[in-house]
Amino acid sequence: DAMVIQNPRYQVTQFGKPVTLSCSQTLNHNVMYWYQQKSSQAPKLLFHYYDKDFNNEADTPDNFQSRRPNTSFCFLDIRSPGLGDAAMYLCATSGTGGGYTFGSGTRLTVV
């Protein structure tokens, strides 16, 4: 089935140690998004790619970066994770007609 796959499902990292979360899609959608969702809160958009064009939200910290080497893959890099970065990170894609598809998320724990 066409889908959005996030790896790993759970990630534990040390304070200050760089970490990368990955997302892949088989939908061939142009747009890929990264959302951060803290406990009991709504998902918050960090950035998105329209094809190779990167679009950063104004309030996304510089500590968060992203790469999209091709249509299928998108990575979220956290350069120096802090305790406040512990959250669920959701990847999503969208195509025409308002269709958004979310992955299962990666739960990041910072110790």
Partner 1 sequence: AQSVTQLDSQVPVFEEAPVELRCNYSSSVSVYLFWYVQYPNQGLQLLLKYLSGSTLVKGINGFEAEFNKSQTSFHLRKPSVHISDTAEYFCAVSPSGGYNKLIFGAGTRLAVHP
Residue 107 in the binding site for partner 1 (CB under 8 A) = yes
Q: Which of 25, 36, 74, 105 binds partner 1 (CB under 8 A)?
A: 105
> Could you count the other beta carbons within 10 Å of the beta carbon of residue 74?
27
Binding mask 48-87 for partner 1 (x = CB under 8 A): x-x-------------------------------------
Q: Which of 11, 22, 30, 71 binds partner 1 (CB under 8 A)?
A: 30
- Give 8's contacts (C-beta < 8 A, 6+ positions apart): 21, 106
Q: Are 2 and 93 in contact (CB under 8 A)?
A: no
Q: Which of 13, 25, 33, 110 binds partner 1 (CB under 8 A)?
A: 33
Q: Output the smallest distance, CB 81 to partner 1, in A.
A: 19
